Amino acid sequence: MVFDGTGAVLEVELPTEGPPPPGAGARHGAWAENVRELVAALGMKKARPQVRRHDNGISLGMSATRDLLYTATEILEAAWQLAGGESGRRPHFDDCVEKLRTSLTKEARPELLKLEAEANRKSLPLLADDDFVSLGYGASSLTWPVDELPAVDDVPWEDLAEIPVALVTGTNGKTTTVRLLAAMLREAGFVTGTSSTDSVEVNGELIEKGDWSGPGGARTILRDTRVQAAVLETARGGLLRRGLNVPRATTAAVLNVAEDHFGEWGIHSLDDLADAKLLVSRAVPRERQLVLNADDPFVWERGARLSVPSLPFGLARDSVGIAACLDQNRDALWIDDGKIVGVFQSKPVELGKVSDVALGMGGAARHNLSNALAAASMALVMGLEPDAIRATLKNFASSVASNPGRSNLFEFGKLTALVDFAHNPHGLAAVVETCAALPAKKRAVVLGQAGDRDDAALHALADAVLPLEPDLVILKEMSEHARGREVGDVVELLAARLVEQGVAEKKIERAPTELDAVRRAFESAGDGDQLLLLTHAQRDEVFDFVASLEAAKWKPGDKLPK
């Protein structure tokens, strides 16, 4: 968000209320001049100060070669202190230079810069971190310890190349789209690596569990010499804290933009968030296409201004982006008359019936139809044949095995239970829309949230379940995710909002844990009812419990297993 290329950024928070600190504006100018003077004294190249102001602070950035990034952070802080800093105490300039020169001498790696220059000349990607440096991607890559880098002439450059790589970003739907596209690539015969908020995997084999949606996950996959194609979830946090996770990709998709975690890392509006998500476009070469959701105005309107060609997808032919592309005889993918159709490379494409898309639940899960369109669009850009795409859309269901925590539907007689990871109002609204499209006598919802959302976000989450007209809402305590709030605060805020919006007190219950809430939902259920089980803190325990119900052939009215 601050500059292209490698470098460092110092985030400075400023008061959001009242007058700015004395001399704050002048200090920014002094900071930039100090950066220039320190860089000149150190004899550094490619080091320019950059400033990005936002609602509650300022991002002070400095471009720098990739071997001097820690030194760059020290320069940023020294320049800020020389400009008055937080305390107003200014260190001596010469003392700063001496300390920084020691850091620079220790960190400088001219051999790394020589490899980078040659890789750029040959249009090959380079990935570097504290421990390793790699050239090429996946099966066409080589990796060396950072202390054992080869000379440029000793690198077998002819063995290095890129592999097909897709980046997936957005507020919701990223992990499902990653998994679906990876399944398409496997169907086409590629050994496929994925990184996501859940794990790092190669052809379904778990390499590492946890949130790997940042650069670390991308590097793990792209250095695995088994991998012939890669699909990398690219979260907003990683983009803002660490920058773009890869220098080059075959394609990238921006699925949607919705309010979530505003106020963090200089993001305060949907426009800001759209710009952050669209950073993935910088990895897509001009001869390829950026995949954009034409149904999301923030994604389409801002994405369409970029220089990289776009391939929009939408749930209807009359989506603004779809209609515009068809008017201009450009590529697009959409749903028409119950079929997924489109134009790609100026040729008509048909990818099957909507009713055959397993993720779509017969058309009820419109958010998953959107994810399917995104995955199919990226698959086309990556060179897959329609047959592989059609087969995967038909066979890839949202099961615990293939897509855990994302619209996993279970049936116990005539009772249905849907388990989902939805954790913000936008994602929850999509799941509620799916549940509302499925028949039910009565509906119960398990609802909760971590404590790091503000009151407005918690109110919006409660509001998102209202269209379902639930007969029971069980509010779960998530004490391990209190994150600055007192235990019980989130539950009571949600309860108060539900009552304010017309939900009767007798329809609201509280549970001490997520698993207790899920057990209570099943206890309350009857034949023909529907349970929406939103799971976050105890997802594995919830799945184990549901599996025990299946094993016991449990049905409504039976005693629950322990």
- Residue spans per domain, the chain: 7-107, 110-159, 165-395, 408-551
Q: What is the mean pLDDT of residues 445-461?
A: 90
β-bridge partners, 530: 416, 443
Lowest mean pLDDT among 208-212, 220-224, 322-326: 322-326
| pLDDT for residue 2 | 84
Confidence tier at 88 by pLDDT (50, 70, 90): low
pLDDT at 76 over 80: yes
415-420 and 530-534 strand pairing: parallel
* Per-chain mean pLDDT for the chain: 91
Q: What is the mean pLDDT of residues 139-163?
A: 97
Q: Give the residue from 447, 415, 449, 367 showing the smallest Cα distance to 525.
A: 415
Q: Does domain 408-551 fall into CATH 3.90.190.20?
A: yes
DSSP state letter for 143: E
pTM over 0.85? The answer is yes
Q: What is the mean pLDDT of residues 23-47?
A: 82
Q: Does domain 165-395 fall into CATH 2.60.120.10?
A: no
pLDDT in tens, 14-30: 765 555 555 555 677 88
Q: What is the mean pLDDT of residues 158-179?
A: 96
pLDDT at 483 over 80: no
Half-sphere exposure of 368 (CA within 13 A, CB side): 31
Q: What is the mean pLDDT of residues 126-143?
A: 97
| pLDDT for residue 74 | 96
391 φ, ψ to 5°? -60, -40
User: What's the rounded Cα separation, in Å, for the pair 22 and 216?
Assistant: 40
Q: Give the residue from 465, 477, 475, 560 showing the smallest Cα distance to 519.
A: 560
Q: Which CATH number among 3.20.20, 3.30.1370, 3.30.310, 2.10.260 corresponds to the domain 7-107? A: 3.30.1370
Range list of β-strands (E), 196-258: 199-202, 205-209, 229-233, 251-254
**Looking up tokens 């880098």, which residue turns up?**
149
pLDDT at 439 over 60: yes
pLDDT at 366 over 60: yes
Q: What is the mean pLDDT of residues 379-402?
A: 94
| pLDDT for residue 169 | 95
